[in-house]
Amino acid sequence: MGQFRLKIIGSLLASPPDRGDLRNQLSKLAKKTWLHPVSGISVHYSLPTLERWYYRAIQQPQNLLKTLSTQQRNDKGAFKSLSQSVCDALIQQYADHDGWSVQLHYDNLRVLIEAESLHTAFPSYSSILRYMQASNMPRKSKRKGPNSPGAKKAARRLEQREVRSYEVDYVNGLWHLDFHHGSLKVLHSSGEWVKPLLLAVMDDRSRLVCHMQWYYSEDTECLVHGFCQALQKRALPRSLLSDNGSAMISGEFTRGLLELGIVHHKTLPYSPYQNGKQETFWANVEGRLLAMLENQENLTLRQLNQTTQAWVEGDYHQKGNEALKGRTPIDCYLQHHDVGRDCPGSQALQKAFRKQTKRKQRRSDGTISLEGKRFEVPSAYHSLVYITVRYAHWDLSVIDMIDPDTSTILTPLYPQNKSANANGVRRLRVSESTPEPQAQASSCSATPPYLQKLLNDYAATGLPQRYLPKDEIGEPE
């Protein structure tokens, strides 16, 4: 309003009227029609109003915009229609029922005030609404999901802590990873309709999808299968952010990240908003990709994956992103500074994503047990009590025995072959850790030293043997 009022009387300030001519100039302005900037209707202003604006601008010329603006009321922010008893009752009611609507609070508060016979005028609905808005008392949606202590703790943390958007400065500095339950069903080879899950790996800085693929389950094998493809397509990132799913915290996956030098960050429990970039991407998948497949008949997993690869490379990566100021993800990925590293080969990745565990060796046949199967330990290591191995539970064809101190691979282990062992051929067991005695005459007698000492001490007492001989008569002493 200050700018609008300055526009009206600005001509008088730019060209001050002669002495005695001010009232005449104000009368001319009062006859004019002005378009109100807020309501958009034509308005007239009286001569006293224009005169008050003029003298206010003359007396306080330092900041005309503030001087001519509408002055705030002294009682702004105060709720005169709400007594202290009404405010206290509303605060307590909100603490007990923060999921109620404002109308429901208003109706219950009216009944409560009337029941307690509080001699006070009850405020209007608008007053209750403004008070709740000013006091930060929004309606809270009913929390879905488990009603566990951890979920309650996460809800309290979300209420008490602010949420901030974030973004790393470099490409491949941070990746996001998550599974998404799709809304479409595909035809399984068993003849059943199944809802697949989408694994997506996304770069934080560029929003580029490093790899995405649909699977029938979200186990560790599928996670490693998709994540290795993302590594081979792009690079080794510096860090990774995921939730606390069983596959993400499995021994195979966490060990693989450690072997590759990738720092693993995990979101707090029941806090999916911390991985918000992925949640936003799921809306894009559902709204664009799956929306175009809703009328596809007999959709299979192969067709869905082929369509997904074409969509992400031809549509998502080529469209401007609002978070990237209109730039495309692929351009942002290629033009920004990259801190990624070269990815090793497929065999190295396969060996990296294996968990490390320790098993006690069975001394009777030199075997250990893994996943309900027995594996033979080479005879050179039969002296070890515990065997440290690395393996992936979905691929028991590659199991390596390692040195726990240096992580060096010592030898591969193979399943026990009882059929081959039935030929009766057995290798000579030679202990490498125990040195062979030299071929020389032993200086020790047949009697152990300690036993010989006991005999000598007993004989030195001069006492007879403390038993009566029976069958030893005639035997040499």
Task: List the domain boundaries for the chain.
Answer: 2-68, 84-134, 175-335, 354-420
How confident is the model over 249-279, as pLDDT tens digits? 999 999 999 999 999 998 877 666 777 788 8
Residue 194's SS3 state is: strand
If pLDDT is split at 50, 70 and 90, which confidence band does 197 have? very high
pLDDT at residue number 27:
86
Cα–Cα dist 228/253, whole Å? 11
In angstroms, rounded to a whole number, what is the distance separating the alpha carbons of residues 293 and 308? 10
Using an 8 Å Cβ cutoff, are 368 and 361 in contact? yes
Identify the pLDDT of residue 146: 59
Q: Which of 28-42, 308-322, 382-396 has the lowest mean pLDDT?
A: 28-42
pLDDT of 208 above 90: yes
Which of the residue ranges 56-65, 257-266, 375-384 would you say has the lowest mean pLDDT? 56-65
**Percent of the chain scored above 70 by pLDDT?**
86
Give me the mean pLDDT over the 353-359 stretch: 95
The predicted structure's pLDDT at residue 260: 95
Q: Give dist(CA 197, CA 459) in Å, integer.
A: 86
Higher per-residue confidence, 58 vs 117: 58
Select the highest-mean-pLDDT range: 136-140, 323-327, 342-346, 455-459. 342-346
pLDDT score at 455: 85
Checking if the pLDDT of 440 tops 60, the result is: no
What is the pLDDT at residue 445?
Answer: 60
- Asked whether 90 and 128 are in contact (CB, 8 A), the reply is yes
Q: At residue 443, does pLDDT exceed 60?
A: no
To which CATH superfamily is domain 175-335 assigned? Answer: Ribonuclease H-like superfamily/Ribonuclease H (3.30.420.10)
Give Cα separations from 433 to 365, 406, 407, 412, 428 (angstroms).
Answer: 19, 20, 21, 21, 15
Task: Give per-residue pLDDT as tens, 79-125.
Answer: 777 888 888 888 999 888 888 899 998 898 888 888 776 566 788 89
pLDDT band at 430 (very low <50, low <70, confident <90, very high): low
What is the predicted pLDDT for the residue at 475? 63
**How many helices (H) and strands (E) are present in the chain, helices listed first?**
16, 15
165-184: per-residue pLDDT in tens?
Answer: 778 899 999 999 999 999 99
Tell me what pLDDT residue 77 has: 61
- pLDDT exceeds 90 at position 138: no
- How confident is residue 403, by pLDDT bands cut at 50, 70 and 90? very high
Average pLDDT, the chain: 85
The mean per-residue pLDDT over the stretch 321-332 comes to: 89
Mean pLDDT of 289-312: 92
Contacts of 127 (CB under 8 A, 6+ apart): 79, 81, 82
**pLDDT, position 469:** 74
- Where is 263: in which H helix or E strand? strand 263-266
pLDDT in tens, 17-34: 888 888 888 888 888 888
* CA geometry: angle 474, 476, 477, nearest 5 deg: 120
Q: Is this structure's pTM higher than 0.75?
A: no
* pLDDT at residue 149 tops 80: no
pLDDT of residue 158: 62
What pLDDT does 50 receive?
84
- The 3-state DSSP composition of the chain as helix, strand, coil percent (nearest 5) reads 40, 15, 45
Quote the pLDDT of residue 147: 63
DSSP-assigned beta bridge partners for residue 274 = none
What ranges in 234-328 are assigned the alpha helix state H? 251-260, 276-284, 301-314
pLDDT score of 160 more than 70? no
pLDDT value at residue 435: 59
> In the prediction, which pLDDT does 153 show?
66
User: What CATH code is assigned to 354-420?
Assistant: 2.40.50
